[in-house]
Structure formats: C-alpha cells, structure tokens
C-alpha cells in the first residue's frame, strides 16, 4: 500500500501521525473511518490560493456529496470556501456545521418543489438549473417569495466532452441525465425563456464532465467548450454572462493504475489559460468557480477493519473477512473500484499470500479488495484501507442492519471523534 505522508512505520507497526491504530480501534471500535484533518486543510488552502485570479473573483466550492459531516461543514465554513449541495438534506447538514447558505450552489436533476422552497427559505445563494422545466418551477417558487425577488441561477450545460472514466461517473455524454446539451437545437430557446423569467437572476453557465479524470486536457477542453458556448450565447441572444462554473472531477490515487495530476500545481496554469480565453471571447465575467469533491477529501480518509475469520476455498481463493464491507464502502460493488490496503500490525512483514478482502454483508459482491498480497493474515489483525475519504461515508448504508461506523479526525495533537457509530436504537429510530 502506498503510504500517505501522515502515515509512518514506527518499530514494526504503522501509525497515523504517531497515533496508534490499535488504540484507535480499541477506543472507537472497528470498522472506523479515519480522516486526516491536516492534509485536508492543506489541500483546501492550496486549491483556494491556486484558483485566485487577478481578473475576476474565484471560488472553490467543495462538492460535499463526497463527504459531509457537521465537522467537515465546520471546516468548510472556517476555510472560507463555498459548498456544492445536491439536496435539501445537504443544505441542512452544511448549515448545521455553520456554512452560510449564501455560499451554497444547489445542484441536482429533479430537485423537488419542497427542496426548492426550502433552499429559497434558507437563502441558498445560487441554484444550478438542470433543465428548462426546472427553470420554470424555480421562477414560480421565487415569485411566490416576493414579486420582485430574483433567485440567482446558473444553467448546467452538457458540452458533450468525453471524460475517460467509468461510465457511471461520466456526466457529459450526449445521453447524460444531467444538464441541457449545448448541441440541442432548442438550447437557445431554453436560454431565451430563462432570460425572460422575472424572478430569476440568470448569470451564467455550469458544466461538469465527470469524476476521476486524470487527463488535464479533458478538463481544459470542457472549460474551453463552456467559454465558446457562452460567447455564442452572448452573440446570439445578447445575454450578459458574468459567471462560469467549471465543475469538479479531478482524479485521485487509489492504486498504481491511477495517475492523478497535482491539482494545486495545475490550478494557476488553468486560471491563466481561462483568463486569456475569457478575454478573447469578450465575456464580462466577474466570477469563476470549480467544484472538487473527491480530490479534496479522498487521500485524507482511510478505513480501519478488524480481520475476522479466514477461509480458503476449493478453487484456491483465500478470503480474509473484515468486520465491515459494502455497508461502509459500496464502491467496489457499485463500480468495480479498487483499493490498496495493509495489515498495520504486520507492516514490516513480507507479503506471502494473495487474499480477497470480503465484507460481512449477505452479498457475494461484498468485497473490498480482490487479489491483494499481504503477510499471512490472522484473526484479530488490523487491516487499513487507504483512499476512502470520498464517497464511502456518504454512500454508507445499514444493509443487514449493520451499524454505520464512527469517524475520527486526526491531527498531530489529537484523535477526535466526529461521528458516533450507529447504535441499534438508531437502526430502528424512524420505525413506528
Ligand atoms: C455537478 C458536480 N460537481 C462536482 C462533482 C464532484 O466531483 P468530484 O468528487 O469527482 O470532484 C460532481 C460529482 O459527480 C458533480 O456531479
């Protein structure tokens, strides 16, 4: 397993900033989500500085679908970045941690009327309109707040740029469910009708081509396509376009097959290039934003499991069962995601055996890692899986009535509990 810079081998065990994994396991039990707060803060600050422009305001919007807890929201508020939300629940959770609703961008296809009413009541700053039908609903709801109220909106457009990633996390193909396609013959009609809506302050466009993108060119290509599109809209319809949101999707390291680029290094180059093309397009842009989720949190997160039974099969497969699985990390079952792991108490021992790390849920597909080389595993070992900061906690379930794990935040000085483990009572709490 590739170690993160906060993980070190001390004696013959692996530690997290010198904190013992065994102590964390004994104090908080396993499975346990472990989040390195310091590396997260460093990354957020790097992105925020990297996106700065001398030409226009810029804002990093944390795509909180990747990982949102009250403590993460407190950090977002403190670090002075915005929040991308996709449901009323995410608005609520962000505000519960102190994020100003005015700094939120509300995304999602098929936002319900109730969610839109809630967003307007809370003062959500920007709504990213998914489609022309939704624009009409937002206009109507905004009008019912006050006849002269104007809700700031962007329109999500799909530039038809392919991102080379898993089909479930590509969002900008021509048959994507997200946004309006820029090649749709009706697109100008949709935009014109939004421009005429009395209760919308329609300031610009958004695009997001997918997630886990390793190719800087795809991101740039989509950004240029968005600027070119905005230029055409300005010329054809006379729309004053003051804001562009280029989405998220920067790739991260899970295994050696992944080749992410350094986003902090990349952003200043990106901003320079965007500044030039916006100027060439003659657009009166006042603000740009990006929406990274995974790349801000993933490397800061890991999951600690206790190894239970070991089982060899007739075909020769060696299973090591862990006390969690698809309920805390659905990604391998959902889209064949791959991870690296290590036995923290045998970190200096040689790997001798190929294991399949399987969870305890009643699904054959409940596997965390297939074919990992490890030292001889024994019941009671602690298995750490890295790169679980994004889309693990947020996609966790109570399948089989398995309680969702606790989460701790770690700094040099402390290990702090930020999410309690579900109790059995929590599991039936909403049931009458
Ligand atoms: C609209 C939008 N913005 C941002 C993101 C965040 O993507 P990522 O976590 O890959 O950065 C997503 C995720 O799919 C998204 O749909």
Burial class of residue 251, CB neighbours in 10 A (0-12, 13-18, 19+): buried
Instruction: Assess whether 199 and 285 both reside in one domain.
Output: yes
For residue 3, give both structure tokens.
């170690």
How many structural domains compose the chain? 2
pLDDT number for residue 271: 97
For residue 264, give both structure tokens.
């902090």
Place of tokens 């949102």: 68
The Cα-based distances of 394 to 63, 98, 202, 297, 391 in angstroms read 12, 19, 31, 12, 5
Please list the residues that pair with 13 across neighbouring strands. Answer: 10
Q: What is the CATH number of the domain that holds 25?
A: 2.40.37.10
Instruction: Assess whether 196 and 314 both reside in one domain.
Output: no
For residue 56, give both structure tokens.
């226009």
Look at residues 301, 348, 346 and name the one whose alpha carbon lies nearest to residue 320. Answer: 346
pLDDT number for residue 171: 55
Examine the fold and report which residue of 292, 319, 339 is the final residue of a domain before the chain moves on: 292
Examine the fold and report which residue of 256, 271, 292 is the final residue of a domain before the chain moves on: 292
First-last CA distance in the chain: 46
Which ligand 1 atom minimizes the distance to the CA of 296? 11
Distance 82 CA to ligand 1 centre (A): 14
Instruction: Assess whether 65 and 193 both reside in one domain.
Output: yes
Residue 362 is among the residues annotated as catalytic for this protein: yes
The 3-class secondary structure across 363-401, one letter per residue, is CCCCEEEEEEEECCCCCCCEEEEECCCCCCHHHCCCHHH
pLDDT tens track for 97-133: 999 999 999 999 999 999 999 999 999 999 999 999 9
Domain membership of residue 330 as a residue range: 7-30+299-428
Distance 293 CA to ligand 1 centre (A): 6
Distance 291 CA to ligand 1 centre (A): 6
Instruction: Assess whether 14 and 138 both reside in one domain.
Output: no
Distance 138 CA to ligand 1 centre (A): 22
Place of tokens 């939004």: 194
66 occurs within a structural domain: yes
pLDDT number for residue 159: 86
355 occurs within a structural domain: yes
pLDDT number for residue 99: 98
Closest CA to ligand 1's atom 12:
248
pLDDT number for residue 162: 63
Query: At CA 280, angle to CA 285 and CA 217, rounded to 5?
Result: 90
What is residue 404's DSSP assignment? P
Examine the fold and report which residue of 292, 316, 351 is the final residue of a domain before the chain moves on: 292
Residue pLDDT tens, the chain, 432 long: 999 999 999 999 999 999 999 999 999 999 999 999 999 999 999 999 999 999 999 999 999 999 999 999 999 999 999 999 999 999 999 999 999 999 999 999 999 999 999 999 999 999 999 999 999 999 999 999 889 999 999 999 998 776 655 444 445 556 778 899 999 999 999 999 999 999 999 999 999 988 999 998 888 999 999 999 999 999 999 999 999 999 999 999 999 999 999 999 999 999 999 999 999 999 999 999 999 999 999 999 999 999 999 999 999 999 999 999 999 999 999 999 999 999 999 999 999 999 999 999 999 999 999 999 999 999 999 999 999 999 999 999 999 999 999 999 999 999 999 999 999 999 999 999
Give ligand 1 pocket residues (Cβ under 6 A): 63, 66, 84, 107, 171, 208, 211, 247-250, 291-295
Distance 84 CA to ligand 1 centre (A): 9
For residue 222, give both structure tokens.
């989509």
Cα separation, 44 vs 61, in Å, equals 10
1 occurs within a structural domain: no
Kindly report the pTM of this predicted structure. Answer: 0.96
Instruction: Assess whether 318 and 212 both reside in one domain.
Output: no
Among 146, 257, 314, 362, the active-site one is 362
Strands 82-85 vs 57-63: parallel, antiparallel or unpaired: parallel
Instruction: Assess whether 282 and 319 both reside in one domain.
Output: no
Instruction: Assess whether 152 and 219 both reside in one domain.
Output: yes
pLDDT number for residue 169: 46
223 occurs within a structural domain: yes
Instruction: Assess whether 113 and 232 both reside in one domain.
Output: yes
Q: What is the CATH number of the domain that holds 152?
A: 3.20.20.10
Instruction: Assess whether 402 and 253 both reside in one domain.
Output: no
217 occurs within a structural domain: yes
Among 165, 209, 247, which residue has the most ligand 1 atoms within 8 Å of its CB, making it the best to mutate? 247
What's the Rg (C-alpha) of the chain?
23
Instruction: Assess whether 157 and 239 both reside in one domain.
Output: yes
State residue 376 phi and psi, 5-degree precision. Answer: -50, 115
Which ligand 1 atom minimizes the distance to the CA of 391? 9
138 occurs within a structural domain: yes
Distance 295 CA to ligand 1 centre (A): 10
239 occurs within a structural domain: yes
pLDDT number for residue 175: 72
Prior bond to 35 cis, omega within 30?
A: no
165 occurs within a structural domain: yes
Instruction: Assess whether 342 and 231 both reside in one domain.
Output: no
Distance 108 CA to ligand 1 centre (A): 11
Cα separation, 264 vs 193, in Å, equals 39
Query: At CA 205, angle to CA 391 and CA 175, rounded to 5?
Result: 60
Instruction: Assess whether 21 and 57 both reside in one domain.
Output: no
């Amino acid at each position: 397993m590739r170690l993160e810079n906060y993980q070190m081998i001390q004696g013959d065990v692996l530690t997290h900033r010198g904190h013992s994994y065994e102590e964390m396991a004994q104090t908080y039990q396993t499975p346990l989500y472990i989040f390195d707060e310091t590396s997260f803060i460093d990354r957020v600050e790097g992105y925020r500085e990297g996106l700065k422009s001398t030409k226009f305001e810029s804002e990093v919007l944390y795509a909180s679908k990747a990982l949102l807890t009250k403590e993460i929201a407190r950090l977002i508020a403190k670090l002075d970045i915005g929040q991308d939300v996709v449901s009323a629940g995410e608005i609520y959770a962000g505000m519960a941690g102190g994020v100003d609703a005015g700094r939120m961008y509300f995304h999602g296809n098929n936002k319900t009327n109730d969610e839109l009413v809630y967003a307007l009541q809370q003062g959500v700053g920007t709504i990213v309109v998914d489609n022309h039908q939704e624009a009409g609903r937002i206009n109507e709801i905004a009008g019912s707040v006050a006849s002269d109220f104007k809700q700031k909106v962007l329109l999500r457009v799909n530039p038809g740029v392919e991102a080379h990633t898993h089909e479930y996390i590509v969002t900008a193909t021509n048959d994507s469910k997200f946004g309006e396609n820029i090649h749709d013959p009706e697109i100008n009609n949709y935009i014109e009708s939004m421009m005429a809506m009395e209760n919308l302050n329609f300031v610009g466009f958004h695009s997001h081509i997918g997630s886990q993108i390793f190719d800087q060119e795809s991101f740039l290509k989509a950004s240029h396509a968005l600027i070119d599109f905005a230029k055409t809209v300005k010329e054809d319809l006379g729309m004053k376009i003051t804001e562009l949101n280029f989405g998220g999707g920067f790739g991260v390291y899970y295994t050696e097959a992944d080749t992410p680029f350094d986003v902090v290094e990349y952003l200043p180059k990106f901003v320079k290039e965007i500044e030039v093309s916006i100027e060439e397009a003659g657009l009166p842009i006042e603000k740009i934003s990006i929406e990274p989720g995974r790349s801000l949190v993933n490397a800061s997160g890991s999951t600690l499991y206790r190894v239970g039974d070991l089982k060899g099969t007739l075909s020769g497969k060696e299973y090591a069962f862990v006390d969690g699985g698809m309920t805390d990390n659905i990604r391998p079952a959902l889209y064949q995601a791959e991870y690296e792991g290590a036995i923290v108490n045998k970190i200096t021992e040689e790997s001798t055996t190929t294991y399949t790390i399987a969870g305890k849920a009643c699904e054959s597909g409940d596997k965390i890692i297939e074919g990992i080389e490890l030292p001889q595993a024994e019941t009671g070992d602690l298995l750490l899986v890295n790169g679980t900061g994004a889309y693990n906690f947020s996609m966790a379930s109570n399948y089989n009535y398995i309680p969702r794990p606790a989460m701790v935040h770690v700094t040099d000085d402390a290990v702090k509990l930020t999410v309690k483990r579900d109790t059995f009572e929590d599991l039936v709490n909403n049931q009458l």
